[in-house]
């Protein structure tokens, strides 16, 4: 996964503003089926918003780290319990500035 530039992150944040969460991570945590759903959603959309309900801030950070590692995606931003991630696919759906 290539590192995003500041310009690209700003662009993705603006696109993500209107997105609704496509995956919710709740009481059962980050299961293999949730990871598969994340991979499917990233393949279909490239840019997705995830809703994370965690016990505390450290638990949320651990979940985010695992999501990024397992999906090989880039973190765009986190706001509260919302995580925005991006992973470019072969057929680009989101145009990134240079």
Task: Give the CATH number for residue 76.
Answer: 3.30.110.60
Query: Does 91 fall in a domain?
Result: no
Query: Does 23 fall in a domain?
Result: yes
Query: Does 22 fall in a domain?
Result: yes
Query: Does 54 fall in a domain?
Result: yes
**Hey, what are 56's tokens?**
């505390």
Query: Does 20 fall in a domain?
Result: yes
Q: How many domains does the chain have?
A: 1
| Averaged pLDDT for residues 38-64 | 94
What pTM was computed for the model? 0.93
Query: Does 95 fall in a domain?
Result: no
Looking at residue 13, its pLDDT comes to 97
User: In the predicted model, is pLDDT for residue 98 greater than 90?
Assistant: no
User: In the predicted model, is pLDDT for residue 62 greater than 80?
Assistant: yes
Q: What's the domain range around 39?
A: 6-86
Q: What percent of the chain has pLDDT over 70?
A: 99
User: In the predicted model, is pLDDT for residue 72 greater than 90?
Assistant: yes
């Amino acid at each position: 996964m290539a590192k995003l530039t500041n310009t690209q992150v700003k662009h993705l944040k603006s696109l993500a503003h209107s997105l609704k969460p496509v995956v919710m991570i709740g009481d059962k945590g980050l299961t293999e089926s949730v990871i598969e759903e994340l991979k499917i959603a990233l393949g279909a959309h490239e840019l997705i918003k995830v809703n994370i309900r965690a016990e505390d801030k450290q638990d949320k950070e651990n979940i985010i780290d695992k999501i990024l590692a397992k999906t090989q995606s880039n973190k765009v931003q986190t706001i509260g319990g919302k995580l925005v991630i991006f992973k470019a696919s072969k057929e680009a759906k989101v145009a990134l500035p240079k």
